[in-house]
Structure 1
Amino acid sequence: MSRDGTAVAGPVRVLVADDEPMIRAGVRAVLATDPGIEVVAEAADGHEAVELVRAHRPHVAVLDVRMPRTNGIDAAAEIRRTLPDTGVVMLTTFGEDDYILRALGAGAAGFLIKSGEPEELLAGVRAVADGAAYLSPKVAARVVAHLASTGAGALAERRDAARERVAGLTPREREVLAHLGGGLSNGQIARRLHLVEGTVKAHVSSVLARLGVDNRAAAAVVAHEAGILPPPPPEQR
């Protein structure tokens, strides 16, 4: 599925941007293990990434946070502003919590740790291509911990604030938020909750508006802060 909910014709087209050739080669090699994913372009900096996204119109752009000329966050913001059909996945390291928060504000939908498992990269690209948000569990935990350690307030205060925001949701919206926190797409949520996908899309829009966030990744952070976790798939119950 594309980010507007329509089916993606053919393989998921991906751009990879990192200023280190070995990292780009590694990301490409991992993505090549999935026959349904095609790397259509590589960029060595954020400026080049934006230009190549304009030229190739990939479904997903995988961007390193720190790159010369234009960094990944500014590139993500420009891509989301001018080419909203391309979802953005950010590659981060364990020392870049502040960058993750800024990338959330720039509209990135996926966050992965460079040292994570290859399966997470494939899952993240697939999820974002499907219109979902994907936060590596390690990223989500670090975002919540980092927020708690900043001037934004103590962990208990953050949790209370998140729970207060969530309290304004309907029971169905809370269910949808839990699945957003689990990185599910609208189609996957619809199947889990036995709803029409259009109904789920409407619930997601309402959840974002009620929480006062701009994208699914930011909503996922609120879900993690509030301690709302998705139920396990039926086969795991």
Structure 2
Amino acid sequence: MISSPIRILCVDDHPLMREGIAAVIRNEPDMQLVGEAASGHEAIASFREHRPDVTLMDLRMPDIGGIDAMIAIRTEFAEARVIVLTTFEGDVEIQRALEAGARGYVLKSTPRKQLVETIRKVHAGKKHIPPEIAAQLVEHLGHEALSKREIEVLEKIAGGNRNIDIAALLFISEETVKGHIKHIMEKLGASDRTEAVAIGVRRGIIQL
């Protein structure tokens, strides 16, 4: 008895990336591309329409990010199997994706063979995290996370705001801003504001 192919939905805002994945899937006899989406909202609508077995989800998209789209899909379809497909390997973003229910995490630089193996693995009910991604997670295990307010302050620093501007924008005192910055530096192990922003971006805490 021939089993039915693994039905796949591909979500990415870059047409070339979608075309590349479509070509890879076409070459696999046990896979079928049932839908494509270029944004988070399209992804949710396309999932409802096609009910794919596996969804490949980009994290960075123009409307809502891949993590929010995945949360929306999994709220409605708890059994949804999503593989995050990204260029990015910041540990905070990886952690968020896994907490949102991602079953696999694949970098866009991954060889074709590894991508199709991951799809098969996730379809079979297993999880897949590449060793380099797992190493990223372990490296920051036990580090104290930034609070919501500290992330807001770091975003404002990244936007080029001075302490006095940040205080006005967040309706807090300048002293409070200084306190937040001190904690941000300590938690990130940064020596100055520029380094704090660089670490925040690299780890996926903030986006520029």
Question: For 1:127 and 1:99, how far apart are their aligned partners in 2?
Answer: 22
Runs of 4+ deviating beyond 3 Å: none
Task: Give the CA deviation at 1:63.
Answer: 0.3
Does 1:151 pair with 2:144? Answer: yes
Q: Which of 116, 128, 142 is the aligned partner of 2:136?
A: 142
One-letter code aligned to 2:11: A
Q: Quick one: structure 1 residues 22 and 80, their matched pair in 2 at CA, closer, same or farther if it must change by over 3 Å?
A: same
1:115 to 98, 109, 113: 109
Match of 1:120, as an amino acid?
Q
Q: 1:67 is aligned with what amino acid?
A: M
- TM-score after normalising by structure 2: 0.65
Aligned residue type for 2:37: A
> What residue identity is the alignment partner of 2:14?
E
Using the TM superposition, give the Cα deviation of residue 92 of structure 1 relative to its aligned residue in structure 2, in angstroms: 2.1
Equivalent residue for 1:52? 46
Q: 1:77 to 1:130 in 2, by over 3 A?
A: same
> Which of 123, 126, 132 does residue 132 from structure 1 map onto?
126
- Report the TM-score when normalising by structure 1: 0.57
Alpha-carbon spacing, 1:89–1:95, altered in 2? closer, same or farther (3 Å) = closer
Asked if 1:102 corresponds to 2:100, the answer is no
The reply to whether residue 11 of structure 1 matches residue 5 of structure 2 is yes
1:19 deviates by 0.4
Structure number, greater radius of gyration: 2
Describe the SS at the equivalent of 2:141: helix
Query: CA shift at 1:10, angstroms?
Result: 0.5
Matches within 5 A, 1:1-237: 9-147=3-141, 150-151=143-144
- 1:112 Cα deviation (Å)? 0.5
Say how many residue pairs are matched: 144
Structure 1: gaps (5+ residues): 1-7, 153-237
Residue in structure 1 matched with residue 168 of structure 2 by the alignment: none
| Contact in 2 for aligned 1:17/1:24 (Cα 8 Å) | yes
Residue 191 of structure 1: aligned partner: none
Contact preservation (8 Å) 1:15, 1:53:
yes
Give the unaligned 5+ runs of structure 2: 146-208
Displacement of 1:48 in angstroms is 0.5
Superimposed CA distance per residue, residues 171-225 of structure 1 (whole angstroms, 9 cap, x where no aligned partner): xxxxxxxxxxxxxxxxxxxxxxxxxxxxxxxxxxxxxxxxxxxxxxxxxxxxxxx
* Kept after mapping to 1: 8 A contact 2:89/2:133: no
Q: Does the CA contact (< 8 Å) of 2:90 and 2:136 recur in 1?
A: no
C-alpha root-mean-square deviation of aligned residues, in Å?
1.7
Percent identity between the aligned chains? 42
